[in-house]
Amino acid sequence: MPCANRAVYLHAQAVLNVAGDEPAALRGETPAPRPLSFDPARLAHALATPRLPTDRFDRKIQRSVEPQGLRLLYCAARLARALHALDLPPERVALCAAIPEVDAPSPCWDAVEAMGRQPERPVAGLLANTPPLHALTLLNSSVMAYVAEALHCNGPMGGYCSQANAGLDALIEAVLQVAEDNADAALVISSSPNLTPALYLRDGAGPRETVHGEGAAALLLATAPAASGPRVRIAGHARGYIASAERAEAVLRQVLDQALQGERLALSDVRRIVADRHDPLLAELLRDAPVQAGSRCAVGELGASGLLTDLACVLAEPSTEVWGESHYALLLSHTAAGHVGAVLLAIDEQEKGA
């Protein structure tokens, strides 16, 4: 879909994954995945739970929010300064969250642990060991509220939980809110799932060889680019859903066309394409195009944070020296559940002093 209204720019980013909290770290040598404690036959990129800045979040949040939420809050906090610098009224700042399983299924998993302590009284054990705040975690809205409070986002909002596609859902909603003048800036926040047995039990967790990673990513969108560095404008976006395998290619082509049409581009006009080269559908579509691997190869499948991490990397390292002073980058996603998405970025060097 072309962004026909106000221009929307990637203004700032924050990432967190096993490579660290700077996108540049994904370009270097990243740690090898390690065997999971509960299933040594599987490899994954586990991440230590981050400490939240106490000047931004109350200490009780560190204690009461589970790791996915803490990762997300950690990234959101790192955008506070950039958001503050925009000097916008809170009601003009949108908040869009990709939170498919934040806090969940931790209540269920707590149930197992509680039953383990009192196997003869499973329900009593569960209820006795469920902290009151888990009522809010059931609703998925607690982390959004913490971000809204800490970063003063009182504009339009949305929380999305279509697993790995939730990042795209949140991003597109944020772009539309800014483009259609419902907000002047938007925070897009996301987190990967926790590496628990539940992740591997869920439908669509992927084939056994999938290497999952823990991480988070957040983006700040605004009507103007950041003061320094190249301008990265969101020039197009599209999404589709593959309900049946025979329509897969048609849906993907339609998504691609929609993403490119606003700038009147053909795929060959796009110099830089970021996609999972191991995805058969994407590989077939892009077989004649130079494709850069996304974050997945370096830090594992990050779920809802995967696409946003890739966008953060493009913003942090627009590579105009490699791709030209003005070029387009296209990021494509295809989830195990059948969602496909495309985000087109227009990147150009700002004039000195601009």
Partner 1 sequence: MRAREVFVTGYGLVAPTVLDAETLFQRISDRQSCVREHPLFAELGFPNTAAGYLDDEQWRHLNAGFAGDASGQPRQTVLADYVARQALDHAGLSSGAFRQVDSGLFVGSNKYCANSQELDQVSLFLDRQGRLDLDRYMQRPARAEHPFARRVDQQTAYLAASLGIRDHVYTHSDACAAGTMAIGSAYRAIERGDIDLALCGAVELMANELPYSMFNSLGALCQKPEFGAAGQSRPFMRDRCGFVLGEGAALLVLESKQHAERRGARPLGRVLGYANFCESEKMTSSSRDGSTYAHCMEAAIEDAGLLRYAVQHVNTHGTSNQVNDSCEAHALKRVFGKMLGDITLTANKSAIGHSLAGSGAIEAVLSLITLRDGVVLPTLNYDEADAEFPELRLVNQPTRQAVSVVLSNSFGFGGVNSSIVLGRA
Residues 187-246 that bind partner 1 (CB under 8 A): 197-198, 201-204, 239-241, 243-244
Q: State the nearest-atom distance from the C-beta of 347 to partner 1, in Å.
A: 26
Of 105, 213, 215, 303, the residue at the interface with partner 1 (CB under 8 A) is 105
Residue among 57, 74, 160, 328 that touches partner 1 (CB under 8 A): 160
Q: Which of 24, 85, 108, 322 binds partner 1 (CB under 8 A)?
A: 108
The CB-side HSE value for 40 (13 A sphere, CA atoms) comes to: 0
Q: Collapsing DSSP states into helix, strand and coil, what is residue 4? A: coil
Residues 243-262 that bind partner 1 (CB under 8 A): 243-244, 247, 251
What gap in Å lies between CA 210 and CA 230, rounded to an integer?
Answer: 34
For residue 161, the SS3 value is coil
**DSSP β-bridge partners for residue 238:** 342
User: Contact region for partner 1 (CB under 8 A) — 9-17, 74-82, 146-154, 274-282?
Assistant: 146-154
Closer residue to partner 1 in complex, CB, 203/351:
203
Pick the closer one to partner 1 by CB: 113 or 269: 113
Cα–Cα distance between 21 and 309 in angstroms, integer? 11
Could you give the count of Cα atoms lying within 13 Å of 243 in the half-sphere of its Cβ?
0
Whose Cβ is closer to partner 1: residue 74's or residue 146's? Answer: 146
133 touching partner 1, by CB under 8 A:
yes
Exactly one of 24, 85, 123, 283 binds partner 1 (CB under 8 A); that residue is 123
Question: What is the bridge-based pairing of β-strands 272-274 and 291-292?
Answer: parallel
Among 30, 163, 191, 305, binds partner 1 (CB under 8 A): 163
Task: Answer whether the bond into residue 31 is a cis peptide, omega within 30°.
Answer: no
- Binding residue for partner 1 (CB under 8 A) from 67, 69, 156, 303? 156
Does 306 interact with partner 1 (rule: CB under 8 A)? no
Check if the beta carbon of residue 308 is closer than 8 Å to that of residue 72: no
Residue of the chain from 22, 338, 348, 349 that contacts partner 1 (CB under 8 A): 338
Q: Which stretch binds partner 1 (CB under 8 A): 48-56, 151-159, 213-221, 305-313?
A: 151-159
Q: Is 104 in the site for partner 1 (CB under 8 A)?
A: yes
Which DSSP string corresponds to 248-303? HHHHHHHHHHHHHHTTT--GGG--EEE--TT-HHHHHHTTTS-EE--HHHHH-B-G
Q: In this structure, what DSSP letter does residue 191 have?
A: E
Closer Cβ to partner 1, 43 or 115, answer by number: 115
Burial of 117 (0-12, 13-18, 19+ CB in 10 A): exposed
Neighbouring-strand partners of residue 15: 217
Q: Which of 24, 27, 58, 135 is in the footprint of partner 1 by CB under 8 A?
A: 135
CA-based nearest residue to 168, from 183, 143, 188: 188
Phi first, then psi: what are they for 24, rounded to 5°? -60, -30
Structure tokens given for 13: 């980013």
Contact between 322 and partner 1 per CB under 8 A: no
Q: Which is nearer to partner 1, 152 or 277 (CB)?
A: 152
Say how far residue 140 (Cα) sits from the centre of its chain. 16
DSSP string across 134-146: HHHHHHT-HHHHH
In the list 2, 109, 271, 277, the residue contacting partner 1 (rule: CB under 8 A) is: 109
Residues 36-95 within binding reach of partner 1 (CB under 8 A): 38-39, 91, 95
Q: Nearer to partner 1 by C-beta: 85 or 139?
A: 139
Q: Which of 17, 74, 79, 103 forms a contact with partner 1 (CB under 8 A)?
A: 103
